[in-house]
Structure 1
Amino acid sequence: MSADISAAVTAHGPAGATRPRPRRNKVPEVTPYFWVIKILCTTVGETAADLLSEKLGLGLTGVSLLMSAVLVGVGVAQFRTASYRPGVYWSAVAMISVVGTLLSDNLTDGLGVPLEVSTAAFALVLAAVFALWFRSERTLSIHHIDTTRRESFYWLAVLFTFALGTAAGDLVAERLDLGYSLSAVLFAAALAVVAAARSTHALGAVGSFWTAYVLTRPLGASLGDYLAQPVADGGLGLGTVLTSVLFLAVILILVVFLTVTRRDVSGPEDGSPRGA
């Protein structure tokens, strides 16, 4: 009897008042699946932007307006979810990858802003987002994206990591002129350094996560360009259509798998954390 009373107080609070359930984390656990899908979304963002702009004749401005409108719709759906939903979450990431790419491209190709300037500007904006996030929440942890404000900071950071990764990747490619395959190897090596720094505790969890998030953008773009661009230009000549469809198919398979298995959910259905 006493156990029943204790359970009722825990669920409803004193005097029978209903205590609201804690909100569940709105983002996935960082697993190998996370990084694979993130890189694939990045590649799709690169090839899809090129496809819509060049092949369909929409132009940079037309594609930017169209993708921004789609992103707003997907973003509304993401913010309305009560917890992490793989299909909605990764749709938002894919759309942000396109918009982040276009944000950098508009500055470089549309307004003629040098890549050095845009790279520095995006780095400063991203640093400002992190500073405001920490000042507001006293943490940058992605394991507790469970309020609207934290989720807003999270998605702002994601947007500017894509923009920064695009500008920095283009800057490296332009300055070093390595080609698509060697560029991919370079950024993969940089990610390996980040992983090693994290494993030896030379770099903290937050710093290593967001550094890797930036680096996977040029890595995915290099892979996408290598697959899509003509052989004469150093690619494999698969084309933007085939490359986009191939990567979208793999993303869909993985998202369905995660939806069914819940391998990347941070806690049980009641929102309580796993373990301590």
Structure 2
Amino acid sequence: MNNKTAHTLSKVPEVTLLFWIIKIAATTLGETGGDAVTMSMNLGYLVGTIIFAVIFLIAVAAQIGVKGFHPFLYWATIIATTTVGTTLADFADRSLGIGYAGGSTLLFILLLSSLAIWYRTLGSVSVDTVNSPKAEMFYWVTIMFSQTLGTALGDWMADTAGFGYSGAAIVFSAMLALVVFLYYRTKVSRTVLFWAAFILTRPLGAVVGDFLDKPISAGGLELSRYSASLALFGFILGCLLIFKQRAASRVH
């Protein structure tokens, strides 16, 4: 087997520090952007979910349809998953009345089911293997569930658990630090640690987003959701323009 056939590129980015920085910014943007549509525009959670679900489906279809890794399209799809995750979680928790605990439990079951079916079907849930339409479908469905779960967990920790936005951010940051420690100091599965970090960055982004735009009386900074979203979008765009991202790769 020569090098050309032994080495294939996936359609997702290489997991580096830059990946996680953009991921946290994207999840925070998902929170402020989702709230801007559902709350600031007064469209409600159901309408907001429908709008972002359509954007999500279009983005995923485009991502699956292209050849190779395209950073701007990939991160646009990630942002689409996190905005629809924000509005969907809010709709389930608040409009359907199942509460943060009920919503988090349901979404956790859906996330684990998605990972289990993915593994049973393709034999791996590693992001390095995302180089076929079927793998991409599992990848984006799993991400959508993880983003939605993260929103519910963030709201649960900040509101119901009483940690507040800054306190919840510290808790999730500490949990991410534990994942980093396990990565460098143990032999725990890198795939397991990746998905743990991927899930935890979402509630971190959710509480940071709420901290930015919620009223001062509720523990936030009361910034405009529009300006916060624009600033986050500009930051992500700047990272993509300045720093080159490569596709993840694997050896067969």
Describe the superposition over 1:86-127 as per-residue Cα deviations: whole angstroms up to 9, x where unpaired.
Answer: 000000000100111222111111110122222111111111
C-alpha contact 1:166 1:218 (8 A) present in aligned 2 = yes
Q: Please give the secondary structure, in 2, of the residue aligned with 1:266.
A: strand
Within the candidate set 89, 92, 97, 2:77 is matched to 92
Displacement after TM superposition at 1:265 (Å): 2.7
Deviation at 1:255, TM superposition (A): 1.7
What pairs with 1:161-180 in structure 2 (closer than 5 Å)? 161-180=146-165
Aligned pair in 2 of structure 1 residues 25, 242: CA closer, same or farther (>3 Å)? Answer: same
Following superposition, the deviation at residue 150 of structure 1 comes to 0.8
1:84 alignment partner AA: F
Question: Superposed, which structure 2 residues align to 1:27-176 within 5 Å?
Answer: 27-176=12-161
Label 1:159 to 1:65 Cα distance change in 2 as closer, same or farther (>3 A). Answer: same
**Aligned residue pairs, count:** 252
Structure with higher Rg: it is: 1
Which letter does structure 2 place at the counterpart of 1:254?
A: C
Q: Distance in 1 between matches of 2:222 and 2:88?
A: 26
The Cα of 1:22 is off from its aligned counterpart by 7.9
Aligned equivalent of 1:270: none
CA distance in 1, matches of 2:102, 2:167: 25
Residues in 2 aligned to 1:207 and 1:51: alpha-carbon distance in whole angstroms: 33
CA distance in 2, matches of 1:103, 1:21: 41
TM-score by length of 1: 0.85
Query: Which amino acid counterpart does residue 198 of structure 1 have in structure 2?
Result: Y
Q: Which amino acid in 1 is paired with 2:82?
A: S
Separation in structure 2 between the aligned mates of residue 106 and residue 232 of structure 1, nearest angstrom: 24
Paired residue type of 1:239: S
1:266: which partner in 2? 248
- For residues 246-271 of structure 1, the C-alpha deviation after alignment (integer angstroms, 9 at most, x for no partner) is 1000011112234xx3x33335xxxx
- For 1:157 and 1:128, how far apart are their aligned partners in 2? 9
| Offset at residue 128 of structure 1 (A) | 1.1
How far 1:202 moved relative to its partner? Answer: 5.2
| Whole-angstrom CA distance in 1 between matches of 2:165 and 2:144 | 24
Q: Residue 32 of structure 2 contacts residue 225 of structure 2 at CA under 8 Å; is this kept in 1?
A: yes
- Aligned equivalents of 2:160, 2:15: Cα separation in 1: 33
1:78 CA displacement: 0.5
User: Which deviates further from its counterpart, 244-253 or 115-124?
Assistant: 115-124
Q: Which amino acid aligns with 1:264?
A: R
Query: How far is 1:156 from its partner?
Result: 1.0
The amino acid that maps onto 1:133 is W
SS in 2 for 1:190: helix
The gaps in structure 1 that reach 5 residues or longer are: 1-9, 12-18, 268-272
Q: Distance in 2 between matches of 1:188 and 1:202?
A: 21
Question: Retained in 2: the 8 A contact 1:47–1:244?
Answer: yes
How much has 1:23 moved relative to structure 2? 6.1
Any conservation in 2 of the 1:31–1:264 contact (CA below 8 Å)? no
Whichever residue aligns with residue 134 of structure 1, its letter is Y
CA contact (8 A) 2:10 2:68 kept: yes
The offset of 1:231, in angstroms, is: 2.5
* Residue in structure 1 matching 2:206, options 203, 212, 221: 221
Q: Deviations over 1:193-224 (max 9, x none)?
A: 11112222253101111111111111111111
- Kindly provide the amino acid, as one letter, of the partner of residue 76 in structure 1: A
